[in-house]
Chain A
Amino acid sequence: MSEGLELVLESLAIYWTSSLPLAVLTACGACMGTLLYVFLANARNAKLRVSLLTGFYGLTVFFWLFIAVSLALCVWQARMVAYRTWGVQAAASGALLAALASSFGISFVVWRYGNARLLHRFAPIPVPREYGWLRGYVDLLTKFEGLPPVEAGFIDSKEPLAMAIGGKAPHVLLSRGLLEGLDRDEIETVVTHELMHLKNHDAGFKVFSTVLSRILIFDPFSKFFDPAVHREREYLADEMSGRSTRKPAALASALLKISKLRAPRKSAWGISILGPGTGLFSRYPPLEKRVERLLLLSYLLGDGS
């Protein structure tokens, strides 16, 4: 083994057996555990859960950045004679500061500009005249639900897309493929589903977590837990849409019709109302389960027969 490699390995061994970096990682792990506990203990508090998850994502970014910067600093300082005396403290403090600054920076940029970028990508135009009623429907519903004004946008694409985008200028976007494939009742339930995502603060979080999970490709949290949360949010938005419109079967019918149309583009996976994939890693619940739940809700809201 070359001398340089030996030095690097030795410096890494000294670093990762020191109390300071281990204490930082333990504190980070404890914070993540606490957030997860509070998250699991507050199943119905949609707003709190989204805030907790956002914080959790920030901590995840910090966790990985701390490890990466620590490694980089250890390698860089390995040849310094003074490493044994103050190298660990310097590397740990540098990693802590760099990871804190970067995770705040990345989280802020994604949170602040993610929605605007998504909006730019789908390039919505004003809703065409033949669907003019949509504007009024969205206005009425946002007023009733106590939401800030929401803009209805139109995507000129044959893909069946329906998505809510949060941020400073919240939007509900619907595509030509979706509007042409569904009847009015079905469109209303789909729009309500998307508005419920805005009401539950899912829309901003979905964009935030989708972008961050693409950055953190190696992170187990974004691979297992995040899709589970997305699936839960879909169920919740389905239920709230069904209760609000009192037409859950119309939403079930819309989902069945959308699934028969062409699959949405990859950039819309996890954001549009329905997407491909099933199982542990999918951001969408199984279609049949969604339909079955909506049918149950329809029985409950109806005469029970």
Chain B
Amino acid sequence: MELGDLELAVLRALRTLGEASSGAIHKEVRRTRDVAYTSVTTTLYRLVDKNLVAVRRESERRIFYRVKEGRAYERALSSIVGRLVDAFGAAAVSRLLGGRSKMTEAHWKELEARVAERRRRE
């Protein structure tokens, strides 16, 4: 399953917000790109059609969206990871799974400096 740029941006916004209304999602997407409200709602409908987003209807005017982590979500994820691995090979896997991923660059540098300092004393 292929996902476009705007679809990915909307999913990212939903992951940040959790459950949110289309207005809030539009506001979140607007932080990184200039996009019309109608484009965001159209994209949301498309994501609902693709079974990647779930809808909760409180009333006619109060509709909330959230990411739906089902089979479609896994398929989309596999497709994206597959594209990444096709393009970058084993380096992509290393990057995704590497132990460094959770360490910030600053923390890493600090750790290296402390290890080097201790090694001088050993």
A residues lining the B interface (CB < 8 Å)? 185, 246-250, 252-253, 256, 259-260, 262-263, 274, 276-278, 284, 286-288, 291-292, 295, 298-299, 302-303, 305
Contacts and interface: CB of A to CB of B under 8 A. Distances in A.
Q: By DSSP majority rule, is chain A's interface helix, strand, loop, or mixed? A: helix
Contacts, number: 70
A302 B122 contact: yes
A246 B118 CA distance: 12
Nearest to B91: A262
A295 B107 contact: no
B110 to A, nearest CB: 10
A256 B118 CA distance: 14
A25 to B, nearest CB: 33
B103 A288 contact: yes
A253 B121 CA distance: 13
B99 A246 contact: no
Q: By DSSP majority rule, is chain B's interface helix, strand, loop, or mixed? A: helix
Contacts of A276: 93-94, 97-99
B91 to A, nearest CB: 8
B99 A256 contact: no
A123 B91 CA distance: 24
Given A256-B111, A263-B93, A295-B114, A250 B99 contact: no
Nearest to A276: B97
25 contacts: A249-B122, A250-B122, A252-B118, A253-B115, A253-B116, A256-B112, A256-B115, A259-B98, A259-B99, A259-B100, A262-B90, A263-B93, A263-B94, A276-B94, A276-B97, A276-B98, A277-B99, A278-B101, A287-B100, A288-B102, A288-B111, A291-B115, A295-B115, A299-B118, A302-B122
Given A259-B99, A288-B102, 17 more contacts: A246-B122, A248-B122, A249-B118, A250-B122, A252-B118, A253-B115, A262-B90, A263-B93, A263-B94, A276-B97, A276-B98, A284-B99, A291-B111, A291-B115, A295-B114, A298-B121, A305-B121
B99 A278 contact: yes
